[in-house]
Amino acid sequence: MILIPVLGDQLSHGLASLAGGPEGKVVVMMEVAAEATYVRHHQRKIAFLFSAMRHFADELRAAGWTVDYVRLDDPANTGTFTGEVVRAAARHGATRVRVVEPGEWRVAGLIEGWTIAAGVAVEVLPDDRFLCSINDFAEWAGARKRLVMEEFYREMRKRTGLLMQAGKPVGARWNFDADNRKVPPRGLNYPAPPAFAADDITREVLDLVGKRFGGHFGTLADFGFAVTRRDALAALYHFIAYALPRFGDYQDAIVEGQPFVYHAVLSPYLNSGLLTAREVVDAAAAAFDAGEAPLNAVEGFVRQIIGWREYVRGIYWWAGPDYKDSNALAATRDLPDFYWTGETDLRCLAQSVGEVRAHAYNHHIQRLMVLGNFAMLIGVEPAQVEEWYLVVYADAYEWVELPNVHGMSQFADGGLLGSKPYAGGGAYINRMSDHCGRCRYDVRQRTGPDACPFNALYWDFLARNRAKLGGNHRLLRMYDSWDRFSPERQAETRASAAAFLATLPGAARYWAVAE
Ligand code: FAD
Ligand code: DLZ
């Protein structure tokens, strides 16, 4: 008998380990405390995964599979993947374990130990839900001196044939990003993603999570995630019909009271396996072919999925388990406690934290240019920032979280993933959001107690890190500007940053705040 563990982010009927049908096989699915607490995930994320796992197990059973489902509250539950695989292998007399490669180095290490722990051969299959395999990425990366996402993306366009015509990009351009930075006019009718009513399974899970993990960050109120493939498909088609046409135009916009703007809000479904990358980009391309969505929107969306998503996954496995250990900017500050409480006068930060507490979601520009930018400017230790991102987002798994945070957002890898730090001052946030007019700080003031702190912090960050960043050709213009500041203005800017930094709350970890 072959035992097939299906992990919480492997909820796909086309999973490689399920090929060949149920004959002679038992699927084991495990709710284990270790996965819910290796970081203390947002309550909503745990509830989403447990409910999606329970529904998926029922779907597999309906398709003829024998599924051994271990619930969190089973008194015999050992609390770990390894403990449960060992127990299940013994229960079913397994002669072999077959599992699809996991999404984290941490879990890959656990799986390596299963052969000895369970006393059976373990076969690990490639995760072919991704469009670029780990090996193909390594080959692509190994042949280059410098890694550039845009080059990878073009390869992926050619390889998949998406938005291609006779070997050339549709619209005669590969990338329409320049058309995707519009400021939304007031009064747009934003399409909220669909919310799905809780059924008995979800209600039971919400109760369990509230009792067991009620001290974790976030709230379970108004839980409306899709927890089945059918509902995830409904969310996909809702996005294609109502949000995709304007996704491109307003991709970078931050609008108060509109946490989703025109974003897809599909990442929890993609990353858990309820949706596949291929079907999502095919649906977007079909909308373009049918004249239902413009090219700048569809190309932008396709680039996020077959470009960025595949690229960060490739980097994660290619860079190795030590990738997270670098700290190129030698940042050591503790994460301020308002990342957990939202209690700060900086309106953009307070709003982003409030939204992630409620929805386990922020869109990309909030993650990058508000929360990540601020943490980098003040010099927070990368590991603390990474832990926060892994906790708070429903879509966070290390393969996707780490490159985005460590590389793209904190520049802690020294430029492996991105060619320059994503740093910005108040002017950027003011241009892309409507927060600043309602903030207690004045974005037009450069220094002083009432000035937007991002302004002085931005220049202080550049000045502080000159030895490490001064030679970066993409920052030369900014260092030129800094050098044209008078010595008095430079001193005033740095003093203003120092005064603000001195007001930051010290170390406060979320368990101290949340409980
Ligand atoms: P949309 O903006 O509508 O984009 C569509 C899809 O493209 C997303 O669902 C996602 O699958 C993919 N995508 C877009 N950008 C990226 C990217 N940079 N990396 C990988 N996939 C991308 N995404 C996660 O899935 N998990 C994370 O833990 C995560 N952490 C992030 C941390 C930081 C600091 C930053 C800057 C980005 C992070 N992202 C992460 C990427 C991106 O912000 C989210 O994928 C996106 O916000 C999800 O919302 P959406 O489905 O509405 O995406
Ligand atoms: C995130 C998560 C949580 C909270 N709980 C479980 C669980 O109880 N059982 C499970 O199979 N998976 C869970 N996951 C997702 C895993 O952490 C994920 O499968 C691994 O990190 C590998 O990517």
Mean pLDDT of 446-473: 97
Rounded to whole angstroms, the Cα distance separating 447 from 38 reads 41
- 359 in any annotated domain: yes
- 330 in any annotated domain: no
| Number of neighbours of residue 72 by Cβ within 10 angstroms | 19
Domain match, 314 and 222 both: yes
Residue 408 sits in a domain of what CATH number? 1.10.579.10
Question: How do residues 47-58 score in pLDDT, each as one tens digit?
Answer: 999 999 999 999
At 4 the three-state DSSP class reads strand
Ligand 1 lined by 308 (C-beta under 6 Å): yes
In this model, does residue 481 exceed pLDDT 70? Answer: yes
Domain that holds residue 17: 2-125
Domain match, 144 and 37 both: no
How would DSSP label each residue in 319-362? H-GGGGG--TT---BPPPTHHHH---S-HHHHHHHHHHHHHS--
512: pLDDT confidence band, cut at 50, 70 and 90? very low
| Number of neighbours of residue 471 by Cβ within 10 angstroms | 10
Domain match, 479 and 499 both: yes
Query: Given strand 121-125, what is the order of strands in its sheet?
Result: 67-70, 25-30, 2-5, 96-100, 121-125
In this model, does residue 508 exceed pLDDT 70? Answer: no
Kindly list the protein residues whose Cβ atom lies closer than 6 A to any atom of ligand 2. 7-9, 30-32, 35-36, 41, 46, 49, 102-104, 107, 397
Last residue of a domain, one of 125, 156, 178: 125
Domain match, 467 and 398 both: yes
506: pLDDT confidence band, cut at 50, 70 and 90? low
Residue-level pLDDT at 157: 98
Mean pLDDT of 378-391: 97
Ligand number with the minimum distance to the CA of 309:
1
Last residue of a domain, one of 262, 287, 319: 319
Nearest-CA residue for ligand 2 atom 4 is 36
Tokens 């496995």, residue located = 317
In this model, does residue 511 exceed pLDDT 70? Answer: no
CA of 9 to the centre of ligand 2 (A): 6
Cα Rg, the chain, nearest whole Å: 23
- 333 in any annotated domain: no
Helix residue ranges, H only, 130-183: 134-142, 149-160
Mean pLDDT of 311-327: 98
Domain match, 168 and 59 both: no
Residue-level pLDDT at 186: 78
Contacts (Cβ under 8 Å, ≥6 apart) of 284: 240, 244, 293, 298, 301, 302
Contact 436, 426 (CB under 8 A): yes
Mean pLDDT of 287-292: 97
Token pair for 50: 């447990």
Task: Name the average pLDDT for the chain.
Answer: 95
Tokens 């088609």, residue located = 237
Domain match, 160 and 109 both: no
At 132 the three-state DSSP class reads coil
Q: What is the DSSP letter of 447?
A: S
Ligand number with the minimum distance to the CA of 250:
1
| Number of neighbours of residue 167 by Cβ within 10 angstroms | 7
In this model, does residue 180 exceed pLDDT 80? Answer: no
- 326 in any annotated domain: no
Question: How many residues belong to the chain?
Answer: 515
Domain match, 385 and 497 both: yes
Residue-level pLDDT at 188: 76
Contacts (Cβ under 8 Å, ≥6 apart) of 363: 254, 259, 260, 261, 263
Ranges 174-183, 248-257, 316-325, 349-358: which has the least confidence: 174-183
513: pLDDT confidence band, cut at 50, 70 and 90? very low
Mean pLDDT of 377-382: 97
CA of 451 to the centre of ligand 2 (A): 43
Mean pLDDT of 497-514: 70
* Structural domain count of the chain: 3
Domain match, 45 and 154 both: no
Mean pLDDT of 478-496: 97
Ligand number with the minimum distance to the CA of 407:
1
**Which tops the pLDDT comparison, 249 or 446?**
446
Domain match, 165 and 251 both: yes
Domain match, 412 and 507 both: yes
CA of 328 to the centre of ligand 2 (A): 30
In this model, does residue 293 exceed pLDDT 80? Answer: yes
In this model, does residue 514 exceed pLDDT 50? Answer: no
End-to-end Cα spacing for the chain = 46
Domain match, 372 and 472 both: yes
Testing ligand 2's pocket by substitution, the residue of 30, 31, 35, 60 carrying the most ligand atoms inside 8 A of its CB is 35
CA of 430 to the centre of ligand 1 (A): 22
How would DSSP label each residue in 469-504? HTT-GGGHHHHHHHHHS-HHHHHHHHHHHHHHHHHS
Residue-level pLDDT at 215: 95
Token pair for 145: 């001196």
Ligand 1 lined by 276 (C-beta under 6 Å): no
- 250 in any annotated domain: yes
Residue-level pLDDT at 505: 76
Compute the CA torsion angle 193, 197, 202, 208 (nearest 10 deg).
Answer: 90
Ligand number with the minimum distance to the CA of 71:
2
Ranges 46-50, 75-79, 165-169, 177-181: which has the least confidence: 177-181
Mean pLDDT of 260-288: 97
- Phi and psi at 178, nearest 5°, equal -60, -25
Mean pLDDT of 479-483: 97
Question: How do residues 121-142 score in pLDDT, each as one tens digit?
Answer: 999 999 999 999 999 999 999 9
Question: How do residues 237-267 score in pLDDT, each as one tens digit?
Answer: 999 999 999 988 888 889 999 999 999 999 9
In this model, does residue 191 exceed pLDDT 70? Answer: yes
Domain match, 474 and 426 both: yes
- Phi and psi at 498, nearest 5°, equal -65, -40
Ligand 2 atom closest to residue 7's alpha carbon, by position in its atom list: 11
Instruction: Report the percent of the chain where pLDDT is more than 90.
Output: 93
Angle at 72 between CA 87 and CA 88, to 5 degrees: 15
Ligand 2 atom closest to residue 45's alpha carbon, by position in its atom list: 4
Residue-level pLDDT at 251: 83
Last residue of a domain, one of 267, 284, 319: 319
Instruction: Report the percent of the chain where pLDDT is more than 70.
Output: 98
